[in-house]
Structure 1
Amino acid sequence: MESSMFLVICIIVVVAAGFIQGLTSFGFALIAMPFLARLIPLQQAVPIVVMLSLCTNLIVIIDARRHVDLKKIWILILSSLVAAPIGTYLLLLLDERLLKSFTGIFIILIAILLLLGKSFPVKNEKLAFVPVGIISGLLNGSISMSGPPVALFLSNQRTGKETFRANITAYGIILNVITICTYAYSGMLTRQVFTYSLWLVPSMLIGVWIGIKAIRKLNDQWFRRLALWVIILSGAWTVISIF
């Protein structure tokens, strides 16, 4: 592929991923990873996406910082961190294709139920963040799918868009930082990775900026529906990726 065409495709992909992240506060990797992994080696695509995702989360948290609920988030983060290593071990015990297919189908079904108006309200949200964090950590450690469980729970609770964005972004920042430290320790943060990342930062900024502007035009109901559709897309892609 010619270098100019390669760069154009990467820019378009990152703008689209940044837009989704700015709009819903999750989904950057969902949009960017499938395409970038086809254009550059996976060992480079993965850390690039994580670093750009951290940048998008930092920008979004500046916009939504007043709505972060640390009393709930710390429980979610701690539960996820404890469960993540178990998730890695779980991947060794179970077939990855089976795990991905079950997770993807389950996420799609729950998201569709919520779209149809069904909900399962939890009164003690603080306590409920423990199992949500554990599930998210298990999936993050096994198939790198930490966002959808948290997004589903917040959607089920009909969390307002500002609180939704703030809490899931704060959670994402912690996971991104830990993941990047892991990549640095393992030697995955090469000069080529940093070069690609720097080239793509401007297009990421454009996408996130458009997404943040667009979210202000959506009310809580439309935001919730959009988030659920992104979750369905993530579940569908997880199932498709096993073939």
Structure 2
Amino acid sequence: MLIELLLSQTQLTPLQLACLVPIVLWAYTIFGLTGFGSSIMAMPLLTQIVPLRTAVPMILFFDLVAGTLLGMRSRSHVHVGELRRLMPSVLVGMISGLALLMFAPERPLLLLLGLFVLLYPAWNLLFKRGFSELDPRLSVPFGVVGGMLTAMFGTGGPLYTIYLAGRLRDAAQLRATTSTLIVLTAFGRLILFAVAGLYANTAIFALAAMLMPCAIAGYFMGGWLHRRIAPDKVIRVVWAILISAGFGLIYRSALG
């Protein structure tokens, strides 16, 4: 009865809801494993079923819950120095992204992001061997562009991860620091979305209520996998996920 009531608010069929379940479960299994990737893995699939302006605010709720759970369990691994280095640039990017949200065309931005997210990790995965340290000054472009994409599409996580993977050798530290950054930006997005009036759509809350158990289950499944996969393999999983996400974004931009 409750599911039927919630479905009536979303205008989705039971089959469409059933298709959303594995998408959310998969996305947050990846989040539990790596500390990032939920939005960029889910968005290309979610937006085939629900509108972008519904999918992005809904995923934000899941990011807040999963990121908070991960932060509580792994806060000792967070690299505070890298967060302090990134956050000013991320905030500038998010403010700029809010301005662009109303005017910038979506397809070219997603295509550019998809190409970058595809090519950079493909190079790392196929041609580079071992850890290669990035210049800390790169926190500015990565933070600004990542913040802009976070505000507009919720897809800034790969850029934060690319930068942090070039600064942090330890896989647990990379996972904890990335997830903490995502939680911090999620609170910023929550304020931006509330100001923009996106949460006037009650379908967002109905969908979030139905799919939240899938997000939490995926998070714990990913955490279980993280404890059983060697750190060097986790880094390679990160690059492989980014390549998959890049293909997804290019596909979505091609479809318009």
TM-score by structure 1 length? 0.87
1:151 aligns with 2:170: no
Residues 91 and 176 of structure 1: CA distance in aligned 2, closer, same or farther (over 3 Å): closer
Shift of 1:240: 1.5
- Tell me how far 1:163 sits from its aligned partner: 0.5
Task: Give the match's secondary structure for 2:253.
Answer: coil
What is the Cα deviation at residue 53 of structure 1?
1.8
The equivalent of 2:8 in structure 1 is none
Which runs of 5 or more residues in structure 1 are unaligned?
A: none
SS in structure 1 at match of 2:198:
coil
Between stretches 128-137 and 54-63, larger displacement belongs to 128-137
Matches within 5 A, 1:132-211: 132-141=142-151, 144-157=154-167, 159-189=169-199, 190-211=201-222
SS of 2:48's equivalent? helix
Taking the aligned partners of 1:139 and 1:171, their CA distance within structure 2 comes to 14
1:210 Cα offset (Å): 0.5
Provide the alpha-carbon RMSD of the alignment: 2.5
d(CA) in 1 for partners of 2:107, 2:213: 36
Shift in Å, 1:47: 1.0
Which AA in structure 2 matches 1:17?
A
**Match for residue 112 of structure 1 among 105, 114, 122:** 122
Pair 1:241 & 2:224 matched: no
Q: Deviations over 1:86-131 (max 9, x none)?
A: 3455678876444433332233221112113426423x64x44333
Answer whether contact 2:142 2:163 (CA < 8 A) is retained.
yes
- Give structure 1 regions of 4+ aligned residues with deviation exceeding 6 angstroms: 90-94
Q: Is the 8 A contact 2:98 2:192 kept in 1?
A: no
Q: CA deviation at 1:30?
A: 2.1
1:142 Cα offset (Å): 5.2
Q: 1:43 aligns with which of 53, 76, 80?
A: 53
Indicate if the aligned counterparts of 2:146 and 2:156 stay in contact, CA closer than 8 A.
yes
Matched, 1:57 2:67: yes
Instruction: Label 1:157 to 1:117 Cα distance change in 2 as closer, same or farther (>3 A).
Output: farther
Aligned length: 241
Q: Is the 8 A contact 1:114 1:156 kept in 2?
A: no
Partner of 1:68: 78
- Higher mean displacement: 131-140 or 86-95: 86-95
CA contact (8 A) 1:26 1:168 kept: yes
Gaps of 5+ in 2: 1-10
Residues of 1 paired with 2:154 and 2:40: CA distance? 10
**Are residues 163 and 187 of structure 1, via their aligned partners in 2, closer, same or farther at CA, if it must alter by over 3 Å?**
same
User: Contact 1:47–1:188 (CA<8 Å) still a contact in 2?
Assistant: yes
